[in-house]
Structure 1
Amino acid sequence: MSYPKVSDEEITRRGRELYEKSVRAQVETPENIGKIISINVETGEYEIGDDLVVTSLRLRAKQADAALWAERIGFNAVYAVGGTLFRTA
């Protein structure tokens, strides 16, 4: 199945919405804090791991053209360049 191209803004909106409404309560556990979650914003499927590329590739193996959004569980950003990651939970 192929999905229409989704804008970056729409991917961000959908990803945040899915995370907050459907996924966060399930994944923000002590063992997952600091891990990466990648979410397919069209299907809601997600993968959790230590590496953004690995989680993304797992989802792309299921759907090559997936629109993906990523988050570091329990933090305000996936990576910090010259800055600091802040805990959100």
Structure 2
Amino acid sequence: MAHPRYSSAEIAERGQALYEREIQGLLTAGDRGKVVVLDVETGAYELDTDDLAAVRRARAKHPEGAFYILRVGQSAAYRLGLGT
């Protein structure tokens, strides 16, 4: 979904930088595989095993937020494909 203030590339760039600088060091091995929903404007984030729950909480707190979503310890939040 488009955001009125940022392009998708800007959200990804800002989100990844903020995650690496502010959040990654706070997470533990027990957080691996959880989803982080990060507001790239405020730095506020939600962490949960349930991605939809994390998104709903983030949007409830910051309805106009620009959100970057990632899965802790993985290069992508989601994987698409038919492989086993």
> Scaled by the length of structure 2, what TM-score is found?
0.87
Q: Which residue of 2 aligns with 1:8?
A: 8
Aligned residues: 80
| Alignment gaps of 5+ in structure 1 | 85-89
The CA distance in 1 between the partners of 2:62 and 2:68, in whole Å, is 14
Q: Map 1:42-81 to 2 at 5 A.
A: 42-81=41-80
The CA distance in 2 between the partners of 1:12 and 1:20, in whole Å, is 12
State, as a whole percentage, how many aligned pairs show the same letter: 36
Which letter maps to 2:78?
Y
Q: Which residue of 1 aligns with 2:24?
A: 24
Deviations 1:38-66 (A, max 9, x none): 10000000000012221111111111111
| Alignment gaps of 5+ in structure 2 | none
* RMSD, matched Cα: 1.6
More helix by share: 2
The CA distance in 1 between the partners of 2:47 and 2:82, in whole Å, is 24
Which letter maps to 1:7?
S
Question: SS at the partner of 1:38?
Answer: strand
Q: Which residue of 2 aligns with 1:39?
A: 38
Which letter maps to 2:16?
R
Deviating beyond 2 angstroms after TM superposition, the runs of 4 or more aligned structure 1 residues are none
